Structure 1
């Protein structure tokens, strides 16, 4: 459904509100976009060599330009480019800190713009429904339109509005998530497990707590290629911000617990599959008392037990809790107040509030404290064996399930306009019916060069590439693809960002 201008203080066409430098007719048309049309049916059939021969699934119909390069036996790298720039800039008025709101909020904001001496357009748009979250109608207030090379004119309007107490920002129309001509610039790695003789591995870098670039992790492991992994926690203490948000298993060791029901990429050797997972961690004292461990390698909330492994890489939080230091066999080496190192060959069970009392009562020195960890595949209901070959990376959002678009934004914690509808750089992982692994990075946030993808568009891209199951990994400035030591995409920060974990292809 196309977004449309609705009556606020006056009925206006979006073209009519353009101030001094109006956009071209083509830009004007594309500034009133419709949601990208969903793909019909199953994934496109791949060509005998290269990527699908069918039309690129986004933008105007046509085949994308492709370049193919062999990376290693069974691994190919593709550069895919499609579309042309026609979008320009507008000015969006902020409502309670957001660039959209209710109709009532939009009409109030439009009045403020007009009181500042400028015309305002109110635009209605629909955030599309996804598999687990219904559609919703919202409203934007926008002032003017400018061509791609006229951003400075839009910035003047923002400054003028600011002088009248109206908060606003410059917006590139290609970021909206509505109909666009692009362009798109993406990199795709295809890995054929019948030919690739190496293995898929996860890496958290130097430690769980520390962030590290994908290229650094790839270099240390001798990986021939790599992409960034899942989301990491930017809302914790600065020295802990490499912590994965969701499950992380590296070489069979659980380093971060799952968020129940969220998607994950499960790797073993050179096989890959996608499912939703759950984790269970239990502490059993020598006196038979059992207690659920709430988390792994993260800051504890009140009245929680958290397990810190030697991979944590920082002192445990000094939060007035209690800690039991365990050796590799689970013997209690020391009881101590919270806030200490996790030495090599040990782990630390950390309790806050009533869980600190539990540690003092059931983890006496020289006693044993057995820690058991379990990962469950929620689709099959079976346990995932945590062998040294097992690696699991948490996904940001499920995109494709059983060959159909299936975006699980709510279950994966991203049910909002910015994450579902807006375009961003994306790192995507998918598995075909034959077991081929597909890794894609869609560059974005580069007006006139590449627009990125919404989550729905990301699902369409993975279907086009032949994925039967697919997930969204971390994106934005984190999106990076490394091949033979070189970053082959164009990270939107301008340089490669440190991330929480990475997926490595090791020969």
Structure 2
């Protein structure tokens, strides 16, 4: 209640109910955004109860902004996320939404591509935090201020800064930190992760390497665990290491003390891969029959408390807060014009899925421009999600923006969606 009370109080204090907000009245010293510039018009469609689709465009400009607004007080709607059928494989957002249920009338109303990710061999890994139904699927970045994400709980999103704290404990041994989840041991892209992150070797381009790690693989990974020397760029992933298979109740089922890879994670269980000193720990403490205990904590850096992990909790990573407490919040230096995606919440607790793309090719806006668009939409908090060719907004099974890839909609790692909720509270 603490998080929601603060967000709703701020929203009530700062915003009215309209969309968009008149920027000229509230921010006279700041330039208007693309959607309020001369020549841009707004069209409105109602794809379903509680849903409104706004389209902002100018006949003399190739760019177009789509905004899907979901109002849970007007209809039974819920915000959720999904990684599709496999946490290790990229899938199209349209396919992910259909995989949420086999009953077509309950397919989600709308979806937006989710967090940042990268390829590791023939699988994928997240650039930072990911939680699905209360289970950590990727560790947070270790750098301060790099835990930006959308926390989704009980169908409502909350945008903040979150860190994961992961460890495994064996009888008679001190807790051993886990460096990552569902990624190859030895290297990571986008940010350093894990207890030894301060000593990680940076090879440039946002890539980091670490020769001593323990990585956990969950049953959502749904791919064989990675083998050594999967990438020729790194010596850190050459170590044969060790690998333990752990049942859902924490019992070690098997241990390979001198090798790793090609193992399927048991349902509800884990596979632990260790390299360097991480492999030494597994050899000493993860013998078959041993009962291991796992610690997973999700910490809210804004409020300084832990969020209990249960099936109601999803977390989707982003990068660069754009709006915070209804104020401009972008502090980065990225000036590239690219297709953009964002999730935002506005004053009355409504959720906005926002994209800025080209009508005929790869076009879009800078992150500064995107932040100003969110302000003019009346956002209280807004977070930049993965963009470029990943930018995809789906409404009632149709992609409404033009994907910039020549092949059309791009497969992605996860997606946010507006689904069918319980009983709505209808406004007077």
The TM-score with structure 2 as length reference comes to: 0.78
Identify the residue that residue 356 of structure 2 maps to in structure 1.
Answer: 442
2:351 is aligned with 1:469: no
From the superposition, tell whether residues 471 and 439 of structure 1 become closer, same or farther in structure 2 (CA, over 3 Å): same
Identify the residue that residue 497 of structure 1 maps to in structure 2.
Answer: 410
Q: Summarize the alignment of residues 393-432 of structure 1 with structure 2, pairs less than 5 Å apart.
A: 393-409=316-332, 415=333, 420-432=334-346
Identify the residue that residue 9 of structure 1 maps to in structure 2.
Answer: none
Identify the residue that residue 58 of structure 2 maps to in structure 1.
Answer: 82
2:239 is aligned with 1:313: no
Identify the residue that residue 328 of structure 1 maps to in structure 2.
Answer: 248
**For residues 39 and 53 of structure 2, what CA distance do their matches in structure 1 show?**
18
Q: Secondary structure at the match of 2:165?
A: strand
**For residues 43 and 421 of structure 1, what CA distance do their matches in structure 2 show?**
29
User: How many Å apart are 1:350 and its aligned residue?
Assistant: 1.2
| Structure with the bigger percentage of strand | 2
Equivalenced residues, count: 353
User: How many Å apart are 1:325 and its aligned residue?
Assistant: 0.9
Of residues 270, 275, 292, the one that matches 2:155 is 270
Of residues 43, 53, 65, the one that matches 1:186 is 65
Of residues 172, 191, 196, the one that matches 1:287 is 172
Of residues 77, 92, 103, the one that matches 1:198 is 77
CA contact (8 A) 2:62 2:360 kept: no
Q: Summarize the alignment of residues 13-412 of structure 1 with structure 2, pairs less than 5 Å apart.
A: 47=18, 51-52=20-21, 57-58=33-34, 61-62=37-38, 64-82=40-58, 84=60, 182-221=61-100, 222-234=107-119, 236-237=120-121, 239-241=122-124, 243-260=125-142, 261-262=145-146, 263-301=148-186, 302-319=211-228, 320-336=240-256, 337-339=259-261, 340-409=263-332
User: How many Å apart are 1:44 and its aligned residue?
Assistant: 8.2
User: How many Å apart are 1:183 and its aligned residue?
Assistant: 4.1
Q: Work out which of the two has the higher radius of gyration on C-alpha atoms and give 1 or 2.
A: 1
User: How many Å apart are 1:80 and its aligned residue?
Assistant: 1.4
Q: Secondary structure at the match of 2:374?
A: helix
User: How many Å apart are 1:43 and its aligned residue?
Assistant: 8.4
**For residues 363 and 404 of structure 2, what CA distance do their matches in structure 1 show?**
11
Runs of 5+ consecutive residues of structure 1 not aligned to the other structure = 1-41, 85-181, 410-414
**For residues 396 and 306 of structure 1, what CA distance do their matches in structure 2 show?**
23
User: How many Å apart are 1:226 and its aligned residue?
Assistant: 0.3
Q: Secondary structure at the match of 2:66?
A: strand
CA contact (8 A) 2:168 2:293 kept: yes
User: How many Å apart are 1:81 and its aligned residue?
Assistant: 0.9
From the superposition, tell whether residues 453 and 297 of structure 1 become closer, same or farther in structure 2 (CA, over 3 Å): same
Q: Secondary structure at the match of 1:289?
A: coil
User: How many Å apart are 1:398 and its aligned residue?
Assistant: 1.3
CA contact (8 A) 1:60 1:83 kept: no
User: How many Å apart are 1:193 and its aligned residue?
Assistant: 2.7
From the superposition, tell whether residues 313 and 504 of structure 1 become closer, same or farther in structure 2 (CA, over 3 Å): same
Identify the residue that residue 347 of structure 2 maps to in structure 1.
Answer: 433
**For residues 445 and 67 of structure 1, what CA distance do their matches in structure 2 show?**
15
From the superposition, tell whether residues 61 and 67 of structure 1 become closer, same or farther in structure 2 (CA, over 3 Å): closer
User: How many Å apart are 1:330 and its aligned residue?
Assistant: 0.6
**For residues 83 and 377 of structure 1, what CA distance do their matches in structure 2 show?**
44
Q: Secondary structure at the match of 1:233?
A: strand
**For residues 192 and 60 of structure 1, what CA distance do their matches in structure 2 show?**
23
Identify the residue that residue 204 of structure 2 maps to in structure 1.
Answer: none
**For residues 274 and 202 of structure 1, what CA distance do their matches in structure 2 show?**
14
CA contact (8 A) 2:81 2:414 kept: yes
From the superposition, tell whether residues 269 and 196 of structure 1 become closer, same or farther in structure 2 (CA, over 3 Å): farther
CA contact (8 A) 2:248 2:266 kept: no
**For residues 86 and 279 of structure 2, what CA distance do their matches in structure 1 show?**
26
CA contact (8 A) 1:59 1:83 kept: no
From the superposition, tell whether residues 269 and 387 of structure 1 become closer, same or farther in structure 2 (CA, over 3 Å): same
User: How many Å apart are 1:366 and its aligned residue?
Assistant: 0.7
CA contact (8 A) 2:360 2:402 kept: no
The TM-score with structure 1 as length reference comes to: 0.66
Runs of 5+ consecutive residues of structure 2 not aligned to the other structure = 1-12, 25-31, 101-106, 187-210, 229-239, 421-428
User: How many Å apart are 1:434 and its aligned residue?
Assistant: 2.7
By relative contact order (CA 8 Å, sep 6+), the higher-ranking structure is 2
